[in-house]
């Protein structure tokens, strides 16, 4: 039986991005300060956004912190959804789904079983979780192929595997997922060599599984550290509507803390760090074309 996601905030935000020809900054947030900074920046830029959490953050701070994120983002004057990135273990996925059943439901979740050896194993492992998430009203992101690399909150993968468009539609429809994170030459973490994206592959995937197709899904770009602005624009033009952003905003915040903690009052340090974080969020709202769209 098809699941009605009409009121799902993540999907409404992505649908508007598709219709408007822009992309959404899906910003990784590690603490209350970064969540508040994201909301401030989004409201100032009049931009929709996604607040992304890693499973390690949920485990560290617990259900009250997730409720804080949901309350803070949903109370904003612009649309901001809360998404769980890279839930890859049974413990991490089940925690999020159990909390949803207890009334603290994320808007969306990435159920990441891409570390399994075959697409069939990926589907078999992910499907029960996807079905449960859908039944709870959560939109689901999955990964087909495999991104190499690693970063905070993401397991290290030694060898990547490109996503095949001819497999993507069946993969998504069989799983019942609404978002696809493809492997197109992108990697998690820092790029040792210049990024070599297969933009024609991204375009083919958009034609195969994007909005209006049988899969009717949204493409998600992972691995955005160090990318030049024009490559971001190229990916948006080819249908990547959810752009994951992590260290671009995190690092200036942490650097500000390190520089000022020993000499400045703690509230001033927090405020300065939030301003650094918000500044980067604002840059991405304008780069991705979402500024002024909310």
Nearest Cα to Cα of residue 239 among 213, 274, 269, 267: 213
Q: Is the dihedral of CA 210, 215, 218, 221 positive or negative?
A: negative
Instruction: List all residues 6 or more positions away from 274 whose beta carbon is below 8 Å from its beta carbon.
Output: 33, 34, 36, 37, 40, 253
Q: Could you tell me the strand order of the sheet in which 148-151 lies?
A: 154-157, 148-151, 187-188
Examine the residue annotation and report whether 85 is marked as an active-site residue of this protein. Answer: yes
Structure tokens at 196: 């070599």
Nearest Cα to Cα of residue 14 among 6, 23, 3, 27: 23
d(CA 50, CA 28): 9
CB atoms inside a 10 Å sphere around CB 261 = 11
Query: Across the strands, what pairs with 151?
Result: 154
d(CA 207, CA 188): 25
Torsion of CA 247, 249, 253, 256, to 10 degrees: 90
The catalytic residue among 31, 85, 90, 121 is 85
Structure tokens at 177: 């997922």
Q: Which residues are catalytic?
A: 85
């Amino acid at each position: 039986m098809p699941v009605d996601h009409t009121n799902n905030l993540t999907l409404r935000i992505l649908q508007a991005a598709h219709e408007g020809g822009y992309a959404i900054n899906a910003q990784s947030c590690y603490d209350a300060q970064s969540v508040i900074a994201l909301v401030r920046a989004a409201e100032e830029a009049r931009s929709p956004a996604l607040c992304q959490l890693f499973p390690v953050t949920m485990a560290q701070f617990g259900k009250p912190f997730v409720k804080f994120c949901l309350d803070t983002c949903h109370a904003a004057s612009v649309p901001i959804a809360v998404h769980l990135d890279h839930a890859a273990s049974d413990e991490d996925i089940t925690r999020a789904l159990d909390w949803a059943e207890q009334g603290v439901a994320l808007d969306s979740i990435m159920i990441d079983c891409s570390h399994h050896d075959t697409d069939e194993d990926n589907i078999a492992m992910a499907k029960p979780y996807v079905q449960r998430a859908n039944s709870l009203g959560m939109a689901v992101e999955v990964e087909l192929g495999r991104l190499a690399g690693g970063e905070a909150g993401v397991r290290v993968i030694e060898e990547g595997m490109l996503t095949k468009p001819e497999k993507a539609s069946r993969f998504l429809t069989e799983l019942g997922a609404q978002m696809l994170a493809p492997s197109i030459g992108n990697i998690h973490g820092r790029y040792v060599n210049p990024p070599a994206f297969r933009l024609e592959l991204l375009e083919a995937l958009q034609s195969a599984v994007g909005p209006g197709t049988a899969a009717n899904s949204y493409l998600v770009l992972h691995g955005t550290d160090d990318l030049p602005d024009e490559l971001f624009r190229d990916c948006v033009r080819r249908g990547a509507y959810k752009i994951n952003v992590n260290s671009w905003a995190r690092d200036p915040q942490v650097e500000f803390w390190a520089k000022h903690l020993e000499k400045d009052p703690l509230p001033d340090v927090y405020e300065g760090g939030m301003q650094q974080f918000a500044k980067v969020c604002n840059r991405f709202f304008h780069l991705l074309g979402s500024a002024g769209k909310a």
